[in-house]
Amino acid sequence: MALKPKFAPSGKPLSIHHIGSSLPHSRYQRCPQCDLLFQLPAVLPHQNAWCPRCNAKVHNGRDWSLTRLAAMAVTMLLLMPFAWGEPLLKLYLLGTHIDANLLQGIWQMTRQGDVLTASMVLFCTVGAPLTLVAAIAYLWLGNILGMNLRPVLLMLERLKEWVMLDIYLVGIGVASIKVKEFAFLQPGIGLLAFAALTILSILTLIHLNVEQLWERFYPQRRASQPSSSLRVCLGCHYTGIPDARGRCPRCHIPLRLRRNMSIQKSWAALIASLIFLLPANLLPISIIYVNGVRQEDTILSGIISLADSNVAVAAVVFFASILVPFTKVLVMLTLLLSVRYKCEQGLKTRIILLRFITWIGRWSMLDLFVIALTMSLIDRDQLLAFTMGPAAFYFGAAVILTILSVEWLDSRLLWDAHESGNARFAD
Ligand SMILES: [Zn+2]
Ligand SMILES: [Zn+2]
């Protein structure tokens, strides 16, 4: 069955007569989210198109040239030493002043023996942005030298949600309000560089159109006839017939009907994250020493004491640290059970929920960023010191596992379960 897609030109509206089968460049493709086979009319580069069944975006009109992306990457690279190494906040306490920057906070975490939590923070704030810059540089250079660009293009699409500079920026705000009650604070030079880096990275991620890069570097013939043997590749979103070795002709990863072991992997990550969420919420996540007196805070008690000084910030932390992780786990449980029991009701709601938690999930890292920064700010030995508790590791691990659980779930299985009570896909 071939349906006509919703088609929204940005600019002047196209009449329905344009969406005919007589168009020379119209093509057949499958939706990567619901597997519907539909006919996509000729789209201009700046136009968007959505799947007629599940409303997933199947053509993205945003496009920046590789030269412009490379210019952004160079600017980001120049800003990085200042954003990460210069002080984000300056703290004045007991006649001395302490500078806190991003790398110092991560180093403090490492020194206290929590290498794993420190590397999670390092990856999301330093590793992923650096990889983004390196990947753009590789594409630009590799395009000239004729290198294999496939692995980098495959990685870029997945990298997007791990660049968490925006969340760290909010974390700086939360940390400064937390610390305000102990000492006088001033923004540092690094903050300006960090804000600029964040804006540039967001702009780059918005305009980085991996699909159009694929089409440019590895052009492929598009299907002109609807055929049930057409499959959509989850790596590069190309719709085609597997090559002789069963691979996607464009990106060379195995082209499967459904993602392998999707349900099992998704369940495993979800159950592990559920287990980690218990110690994450019951054990202390931060420990503060004021005049030698040790005071422990769990996630919830920290939020309650933050609410005394600033309700709005406490609400942000509550949303990121408690509401988001638990909603995510609940939604994933519902989705996986609905696939298991071939549920037919509320499919639209489930799809909206899945998209919502995919979009919102990364914000739960906020609390870890706040802890990392506060640790490097408040460090006065016996008088006033701030360290992280054992819950931090469990919390970080739970957040990463829920992100993976969503990533591993093949959303086409939800449609399969909806469509037929007994169809089984084993590929
Ligand atoms: Zn769809
Ligand atoms: Zn592919």
Greatest Cα-to-Cα distance within the chain, rounded to the nearest angstrom: 80
Q: How confident is the model at residue 421 (pLDDT cuts 50, 70, 90)?
A: low
Distance 417 CA to ligand 2 centre (A): 25
Name the phi and psi angles at 303, rounded to 5: -65, -40
In this prediction the pTM is 0.85
User: pLDDT (tens digit, 9 = 90+) per residue, 201-255?
Assistant: 999 999 998 988 998 899 988 888 888 888 899 888 999 888 889 899 999 988 8
DSSP 231-272: EE-TTT--EE---TTSB-TTT-SB--SS-TTHHHHHHHHHHH
Distance 146 CA to ligand 2 centre (A): 19
Distance 85 CA to ligand 2 centre (A): 39
Cβ atoms of 30 and 36 within 8 Å: the answer is yes
CA atoms of 289 and 386, how far apart (whole Å): 6
Q: Which ligand is nearest to the CA of 248?
A: 2
Distance 15 CA to ligand 1 centre (A): 22
CA atoms of 173 and 163, how far apart (whole Å): 18
Helix (H, G, I), strand (E, B) or coil at 343: coil
Distance 231 CA to ligand 2 centre (A): 10
Q: Which ligand is nearest to the CA of 239?
A: 2
Distance 284 CA to ligand 1 centre (A): 44
Per DSSP, which regions of 51-197 are E strands?
A: 57-59, 89-93, 96-100, 184-187
Average pLDDT, the chain: 85
Q: Which ligand is nearest to the CA of 236?
A: 2
Q: Which two tokens stand for residue 35?
A: 């597997």
Q: Which helix (H) or strand (E) holds 38?
A: strand 37-40
CA atoms of 91 and 93, how far apart (whole Å): 6
Distance 71 CA to ligand 1 centre (A): 35
User: pLDDT (tens digit, 9 = 90+) per residue, 285-304?
Assistant: 988 888 778 889 999 998 99
**Residue 12: pLDDT over 90:** no
Q: How confident is the model at residue 275 (pLDDT cuts 50, 70, 90)?
A: very high
Comparing CA positions, the residue from 77, 116, 39, 78 lying closest to residue 396 is 116
Q: Which amino acid is at 400?
A: I
Distance 270 CA to ligand 1 centre (A): 25
